[in-house]
Structure 1
Amino acid sequence: MTVLVVGGGLSGLSTAMYLALHGVRPVLVEKHPTTSVHPKARGQFPHVMEALKVAGVDGKVTAASPKDGTFRITRAVSLTGPVLTEILAKSPDFGHLSPAPWADVSQERMEPILADRARELGADLRFGTELVSFEQHGNGVTAAIRNATGEETIEADYMVAADGHRSPIRHALGIELEGRGVLGEGTGTLFEADLQGQHHFLCYLLNPELPGGAGVLVSTDVPGRYALGVSNVDGPKDWKQIIRTATGIPDLEPKILDLPHGRSVTRHGVAQRFRDNRVFLVGDAARMMPPTGAFGGNTAIMDGFSLAWKLAMVTKGEAGPGLLDSHDPERRPYSKILADQQFLLFTQRGRPDLADDPTLPAPVEPVSALFFG
C-alpha cells in the first residue's frame, strides 16, 4: 500500500517529495508528458526556503535564481513608464524572522528540481499518465490509471488531489468552491526581445491602449524572454503592437513564441472542505486566487510539506488516523485569508474599478504575519 498523488504540479511534486523523504514511496500520476513549461508562480518566500532546505533542495533553488538578487514590482502605464506605484524595489528583510533567503524561481524551473529530488528519494513519478476513476473504501482507495500502454489498477492507503483548479477529483467528491467566483479571463504570449536593460521585474499595466485596459508583463527564468498577459477581449490581436504598448518601446521588434494553453481564468474561491475520507485536497484543487501576491505557488509547496509527514506517519503505523483530521483546520482557514488578501491586491494593482467594494478585506499588517504568523 502507498499514497497516490494525482497531479504533477508544485503541490503534487512537493507532496511526493516530502512523502519519500519521510519513508513512504508514493506513486504520482500526471496527465501531461513533462513538468510545466509556463514561467508562472515566481518567487519563494523565506519560510518556503526553510521547508525546501529540509528536503535538501534549497541550494538548487538559490542557484537557479537571478544572480544579482534583484526583482522590481511596479504598477505603470508601460514598462518604461510612467510608473504609477513602486510596489517593491527589493525583497523585504526578514532576517529577524528567518535565516533563510528569498529566491526567485518560476514554476518552470522549480518543478524539475522537486521532481528530481522526489525520484532520488524513491518516489514513483509517472508523467503521461492520467487518473481514470477512483473509489474509496474502508481500507483505502482503488484507482484506475491510464497511459499510452494501457490501464492499471492501484491500491493506495490515501489519495492526494493535486489535480489543479479544474480538479476532476474535487468535482467527483461534490466539493464546491466558496468565494467570489470568476474575476476575469485573460490570454497571453511569450516573447523574446531586448528590453534595454530591464531584466528581473513584474509590471502591472494600466493602459487604455491594451486589450481590456490592463495587463501584466513579467520577466522569466530565461534572460531576454518575457511573458505578457492581457484581458481576453473579442477580436484578433496584433501581439507585436500589444507588446510595444506594454513595454513602451514603439520600435521594438519582439520575437513571438508559442505559449501552450494561452488562455487563463482568474478565480477566487476556497474548497468547502480539504478532506473527504481518504482523499486530501492540495494546491489549486483546494483554493483558487488571483496571482497578485505570489502566495499560490508558495502555498502549494507548503501544502505538501504540511500534509506529507502526517500521511507518512499514519501510513507507517507511527500515528493514528486522527492525525489527518488536522489537514482541514490547519490549511483551509489560512487559505481563506490568503485568497482574500490576494483579491485585495488584485483590486489595488489591476482593478481600480473595484477599489470601493465595501466587502474588500482589510490588509493583514504586518505582511510578515502571512509568512510566519
Structure 2
Amino acid sequence: MASQKPVLIAGAGPTGLMAALWLTNLGTPFRIVDKHALAADTSRATVVHARTLEYYRMLGLSERAVSEGRVVKNMAFFGNLKEIVRREFNSIGRGKSKFPFVLAYPQDLNERMLIEELGKKGVNVEREVEVTSLSQNDEYATVILKNKQGEEEKFEASYVLGCDGGHSVVRAHTNIKSTPGAYAQRFFVADVEGEVSVGLENVNICFNANDFCLLFAMPNGRIRLAGWAPEESVNREFSFSDVEESVKKNTGAVVSKVHWFSTYTVYHGVAETFRDRRVFIYGDAAHVHSPVGGQGMNTGLGDASNISWKLAAVLAGKANPDILDTYQSERRPFAERLVNTTDKSFSIATDRGFTGWVWRTLVMGNVAPLIFRLGLLDNTLFETISQIRIEYRHSAISNGNHISNLYAGDRLPWVSFDDTGVDNFDPLGGLNWQIHVYGDLSDNVKVFGQERGLKISNFPYNDEVKAKGISKDCVILVRPDGYIGQLVEGSSSDHIDRLRVFMDKWGIKAF
C-alpha cells in the first residue's frame, strides 16, 4: 500500500493532545500545531470524570492523574449556608467503575501530563503555528500553515482534525455550520485560597433565592468558585472584589488570595455536522457547553478517543473508510443531549428572573434534596455525570445486536474480580480489538482469535458478571475504545461465523 499522508491535528488543548497520544500509540503519522506560544497555565476546565479516567487508564495515565488531582467525594446542596442534602459519589458509583468519584484535575495539569507523555514518545507540539487556509479533494486536504515569523507552508494531510476551540478556524474553512447560543447572564470563575464553612470534600452547590455559587477544592490547596458576574461586568474591568460579598454570602468563604479570576459569557450549541469529507471537528470546535456542568472537556476527550482509533484503522488498511461516518453518529447525539439536559437545566437554575427564582427555591431547595435523600436517582446520577452511560447502540457498526439488555455499542461493563485483584478493563490498554469470554473458553473461540490476531481474555463467570448483564459463555468482541463491537450468545461455529461476517463487512483487522 502506498504511504499515507500524515494527519494534521489543529489545536493542542486536551482534545488535540488526546488524539495525538492515541495516534502515536497506534503508529499513525501526524503533525500537531497550535497557534499559542505556551500550553494552558490556568485551570479553566476543572474536573475529570470516570469515563475519562478509564480512557487515561487505557493510555497508562490514570494513576498519575489521580495522584496529582484531588478526589471529590460528595455532591452537596447548601441553601442560605445550611446544608440541605449530600450524596456520596462512592456509594452511588461503587461497582460501576474503578473510579467512583469526581476528580478535580484542571485543564493545565491534563495538558502537562499529555504533553510530557507525548514527549517521552518523541512527539512535540509545533507552537505559534496556525491554520490560515484549508481546501480538500477526494484524496487529501491542503492546509496553509503560518508560523510566528509570518512564513507560510503548504501542507497536504490525509485528514484534518480540528480541535481549535469554539471559534474554530478549521471549521470556518468547511461547510460545517455552527450556531451556538449564549446564556443571558455573565459568569465568573476564580481559583482562590481561603477559609470556607462548607465541606471541601464536596462539590458544593450553594444558593439562595436570588443568587448561586459553585465551590469545590482543587489540588495544591486551592478552591474553585463559579457564579454570576454583575451585569455591568460586560462594560468595565472586573476583579474578584466585585463578587466577594456575594461569594461570602452564599458559601461563607473568606478569601485570602486570588490566583485567577475571569468573567465570561457562556455559550452552548452543537455543530450541524462533525465531518466535512476529510475534516473532522471535535471538542469545543464541535460543541460548547456550560463549564459549570463539568462536561465539556470530558466530552472532547471522549470525541478524541472515538475518532482516533477509527482514523488509525482506516489509514493502516485495518477498517473500511465507511467506519469514519460512525464518529458523528456516535458522538453528536450525546453532545445534543448535553445541551438539552445539563445545559438547559443550568440555564434555568441560573436565570435571574422568576423562572430561576422558582427553580432555586422550590426545585433546588425542596424537590431535588428529597429525590437525593430517597436515592431515587442513585442508579443513573453517577452514570450520567461520569459519562459511563454513553452508548452507541444506534450506530451503524452496532446494528442493534444484543443479548438481553447488553447491546453492541454499550460501554463494556466494568467487573472487578476481588479475589484476584484483576478487573476486565486490564486488557483494554492494548488499544486493539479483542475477545472477552466470561465462562468456558471453547476451541472455536481460540481458533477465531488466532485466525484474526485477536487477544483473548477469559474471565470466570460469577454473580457480579451476571449482575452486569453479561451472559455465561457469550463471546464479546470489544472495540479499541472499550465499547462492545459485537456479541454472540455462544461459541458454536454459527456464532463465530457471525463475528467473521461482522469483521469482514467493516474490513476490521487487529492492529
Which category of TM-score, normalised to the shorter sequence, fits these structures?
A: 0.7 to 0.9
Deviation string 1:147-195 (CA, Å, 9 cap, x unpaired) is 3243333221000110111222223324233675545332344433244
* Greater Cα offset, 29-38 or 235-244: 235-244
The structure with more helix, counted as a fraction of residues: 2
Shift of 1:99: 3.4
Alpha-carbon distance in 1 for matches of 2:205, 2:52: 25
SS state of the match for residue 188, structure 2? strand
Distance 1:21 1:253, change over 3 A: closer
- 2:192 equivalent in structure 1: 191
**TM-superposed deviation, 1:57:** 0.6
Amino acid in the other structure paired with 1:156 = A
The alpha-carbon deviation at position 301 of structure 1 amounts to 0.9
Local SS of the residue matching 2:9: strand
- Matching residue of 2:388: 371
125-134 or 69-78, larger mean C-alpha shift:
69-78
How is 1:294-373 mapped onto 2 (pairs within 5 angstroms)? 294-347=294-347, 349-351=349-351, 353-354=354-355, 366-367=380-381, 368=383, 370-372=387-389, 373=391
Taking the aligned partners of 1:108 and 1:198, their CA distance within structure 2 comes to 25
Q: 2: CA distance between counterparts of 1:195 and 1:145? A: 48
Partner of 1:20 in structure 2?
24
Residues in 2 aligned to 1:100 and 1:70: alpha-carbon distance in whole angstroms: 11
Given the two structures, how large is their TM-score scaled by the length of structure 2? 0.62
RMSD: 3.1
Instruction: Identify the residue that residue 256 of structure 2 maps to in structure 1.
Output: 254
Gap change, CA 1:371 and 1:31, over 3 Å in 2: same
Q: Is the 8 A contact 1:43 1:294 kept in 2?
A: yes
Alpha-carbon offset, residue 207 of structure 1? 4.8
Q: Percent identity?
A: 22
- Do the aligned residues in 1 keep the contact of 2:14 with 2:111 (CA within 8 Å)? yes
Give the match for residue 48 of structure 2.
44
Kindly tell me: are residues 187 and 44 of structure 1, through their superposed partners in 2, closer, same or farther at Cα, counting changes over 3 Å? closer
> In the alignment, is residue 132 of structure 1 matched against residue 138 of structure 2?
no
Provide the C-alpha distance between the structure 1 equivalents of 2:131 and 2:265, rounded to a whole number of angstroms.
24
User: In structure 2, do the counterparts of structure 1 residues 166 and 71 end up closer, same or farther at CA, with 3 Å as the change threshold?
Assistant: farther
Partner of 1:156: 157
Pair 1:344–1:133, CA change in 2 (3 A):
same
CA distance in 1, matches of 2:99, 2:200: 24
Find the aligned partners of 1:271 and 1:63 in 2 and give their Cα distance: 36
- 2:228 alignment counterpart: 230
Contact 1:292 / 1:345 at 8 angstroms: preserved in 2? no
CA drift of 1:332 comes to: 0.8
Task: Name the CA distance, whole Å, in 2 between partners of 1:100 and 1:256.
Answer: 31
The question of whether the paired residues in 2 share the 8 Å contact of 1:205 and 1:350 is answered with no
Please tell me whether the aligned partners of residues 40 and 107 of structure 2 are also in contact (alpha carbons under 8 angstroms): yes
Aligned-pair CA distance for 1:10: 1.8
Give the Cα separation in 2 of the matches to 1:87 and 1:62. Answer: 23
Equivalent residue runs for 1:203-282 within 5 Å? 203-207=204-208, 213-234=211-232, 237=238, 239-240=240-241, 242-248=243-249, 252=254, 254-259=256-261, 262-282=262-282
Q: Select the structure of larger CA radius of gyration.
A: 2
Q: Is residue 217–residue 246 contact of structure 1 (8 Å, CA) maintained in 2?
A: no
Match 1:59 to one of 41, 57, 63: 63
The answer for unaligned runs of 5 or more in structure 1 is 358-362
Distance 1:192 1:94 in 2: 30
Change (3 A) 1:54 1:252: closer
TM-score normalized with structure 1 length: 0.83
* Equivalent residues, number: 358
1:167-178 alignment runs, 5 A limit: 167-177=168-178
AA aligned to 1:160 is L
The aligned residue for residue 116 of structure 1 is 116
Q: Cα distance 1:307–1:93, how it changes in 2: closer, same or farther (>3 A)?
A: same
Provide Cα deviations, 1:282-336, integer angstroms capped at 9, x if missing partner. Answer: 1111111223432212111111111101111112222222121111111111211
CA distance in 1, matches of 2:152, 2:258: 39
